[in-house]
């Protein structure tokens, strides 16, 4: 119903131009929708609406915002299945095993986590005679990717709302259907007019304009490191606050006392989740050299359990990668790894057996990978695992840290104290010990070229705040 419209100033409005973009289902390679593509005029309208709404919304009380979050949760639950169906159609996530169970649910979880953080957050406190205030950053540009649409939108929109900010969301043009569902949810929940705005379009027509817009106070971006650099450069002229969640090449260290059957299987299946399209994917498995053959056999057995196919079939556990460009990129990495001398354990180039169309990739594992190989250094963003042998713990840590990225890390050991000690040495924003899951109340973000700032829970809320000191304030 709203495919050809944008949500600006609390209303669904017609775009300024006639440009359209097809939304391709990556499982069928067919268009499932056509959306309006915005441009500078649409951005101007949305930013102006957000700017006009900011003073009143920033002045709302904690209680008013908490009531809003309660309404959002109710509205989201009503549309939960619609969100899952949109995600499955636009990016090929298996409906039962991913789109519904994880993708749609992650969006709701972030709204709940932001509400919990809001309920407890200390926006003001005294430090002697000085009063410290943490105030809304202002008008925010939120630019999100296609790999976890509901998750990435919610972990920006929710804390921005909690902080008292107003915003313009530009989702990926490859996965915009879920954003339209989210806008309908927020409208149904009664988000005040102009507080949330949605403009669809591509990076050049909308994203770059938002990043450079003088009336935008902050840009929160999730995507590739290459695109993150462009966002930073565009924001630099007006010295905007910038938050970036970018790429990764996370190491999964299996220490010699790990439970290898469990750790290898978990590492492989975690990587294959979402067709490997996770910025924190454990894409480098580091194992003791003397256990290499054992690990290869265990990894191949785990990969054989992955069921690749139609996302609408209940038994499917892995769908296609999300678009043609990503498919071609992953295929190039696989061919390149073979050419560089990596040993193919399972999978390889081409479509999986029995599939003749769609952007499906065979679950692929390489072994005998050296730290210098491209497959060990660059983010593939697909279901491709590199197994690297190491001589001792020192070398494992050195290999793990030998990367421009620093988003996540994984350590498995039978000795919790040993696992913790190795985790402290990894230069990453997150470390999972013995398969520990993500924590939506904890901080998520990376070191080095994996980004700036943190998202999720109270840490995400802090990103959307500025700090003010009122000196000589006296007692409150």
Tell me how far CA of residue 355 lies from CA of 309, 310, 332, 358, in angstroms: 7, 9, 19, 8
Q: Has 245 been annotated as catalytic?
A: yes
In sequence order, the 6+-apart residues with CB closer than 8 A to the CB of 55 are none
DSSP code for 223 = S
30: left (phi over 0), alpha (psi -120 to 50) or beta: beta
Distance CA 401, CA 170 (A): 33
Nearest to 382 by CA among 307, 435, 318, 338: 318
From the CB of residue 64, how many other CB atoms can be counted at a distance below 10 Å?
A: 12
451 membership: H or E segment, kind and range: strand 451-452
The span from the CA of 30 to the CA of 28, in Å, is 5
Q: How many helices (H) and strands (E) does the chain have?
A: 15, 20
User: Using only C-alpha atoms, what is the Rg of the chain?
Assistant: 23
Task: Kindly state the DSSP code that residue 291 receives in the 8-state scheme.
Answer: G
Place of tokens 């590739």: 224
Q: What sign results for the dihedral spanned by CA atoms 8, 9, 12, 15?
A: negative
Residue 169 tokens read as 């969301």
CA distances to 40, 345, 374, 396 from 279, rounded to whole Å, are: 30, 23, 17, 21
Residue 349 has phi, psi (to 5 degrees) of: -70, 165
What CA–CA distance (Å, rounded) separates 74 from 65?
Answer: 14
- Measured CA to CA, the distance from residue 182 to residue 193 in angstroms comes to 15
β-bridge pairing 284-288 and 343-346: unpaired
Chain centroid offset of residue 193 CA:
27
- The residue assigned the tokens 């000589």 is 472
Catalytic residue (one of 184, 245, 296, 463): 245
List active site positions: 245
């Amino acid at each position: 119903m709203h495919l050809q419209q944008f949500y600006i100033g609390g209303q669904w409005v017609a775009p300024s131009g006639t440009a359209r973009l097809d939304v391709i289902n990556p499982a069928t390679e067919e268009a499932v929708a056509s959306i309006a593509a915005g441009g500078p005029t649409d951005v101007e309208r949305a930013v102006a609406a957000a700017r006009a709404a900011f003073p009143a919304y920033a002045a709302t009380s904690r209680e008013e915002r908490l009531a809003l979050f309660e309404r959002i949760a109710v509205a989201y639950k009503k549309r939960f299945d619609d969100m899952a169906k949109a995600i499955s159609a636009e990016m090929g996530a298996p409906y039962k095993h991913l789109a519904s169970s994880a993708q749609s649910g992650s969006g709701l979880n972030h709204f709940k986590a932001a509400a919990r953080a809001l309920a407890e957050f200390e926006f003001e406190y005294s430090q002697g005679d000085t009063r410290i205030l943490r105030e809304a950053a202002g008008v925010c540009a939120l630019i999100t990717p296609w790999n976890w649409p509901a998750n990435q939108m919610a972990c920006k929109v929710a804390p921005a709302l909690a902080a008292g900010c107003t915003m313009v969301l530009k989702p990926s043009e490859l996965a915009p259907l879920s954003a339209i569902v989210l806008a309908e949810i927020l409208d149904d929940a009664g988000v005040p007019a102009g507080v949330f705005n949605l403009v669809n379009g591509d990076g050049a027509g909308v994203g770059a304009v938002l990043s450079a817009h003088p009336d935008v106070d902050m840009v929160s971006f999730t995507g590739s490191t290459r695109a993150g650099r462009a966002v930073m450069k565009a924001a630099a002229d007006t010295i905007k606050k910038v938050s970036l969640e970018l790429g990764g090449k996370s190491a999964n260290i299996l220490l010699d006392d790990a439970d290898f059957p469990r750790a290898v299987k978990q590492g492989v299946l975690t990587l294959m989740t979402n067709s490997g399209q996770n910025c924190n994917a454990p894409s480098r498995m580091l194992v003791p050299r003397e256990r290499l053959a054992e690990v290869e056999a265990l990894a191949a057995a785990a990969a054989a359990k992955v069921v690749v196919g139609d996302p609408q079939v209940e038994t499917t556990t892995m769908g296609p990668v999300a678009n043609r460009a990503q498919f071609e990129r992953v295929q190039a990495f696989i061919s390149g790894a073979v050419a560089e001398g990596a040993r193919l354990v399972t999978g390889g180039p081409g479509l999986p057996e029995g599939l003749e169309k769609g952007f499906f990739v065979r679950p692929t594992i390489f072994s005998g990978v050296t730290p210098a190989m491209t497959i060990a250094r660059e983010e593939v963003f697909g279901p491709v695992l590199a197994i690297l042998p190491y001589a001792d713990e020192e070398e494992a840590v050195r290999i793990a840290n030998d990367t421009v990225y620093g988003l996540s890390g994984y350590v498995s050991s039978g000795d919790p104290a040993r696992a913790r000690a190795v985790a402290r040495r990894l230069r990453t924003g997150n470390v999972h010990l013995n398969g520990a899951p993500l924590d939506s109340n904890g901080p998520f973000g990376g070191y080095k070229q994996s980004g700036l700032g943190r998202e999720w829970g109270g840490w995400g809320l802090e990103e959307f705040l500025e700090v003010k000191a009122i000196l000589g304030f006296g007692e409150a």
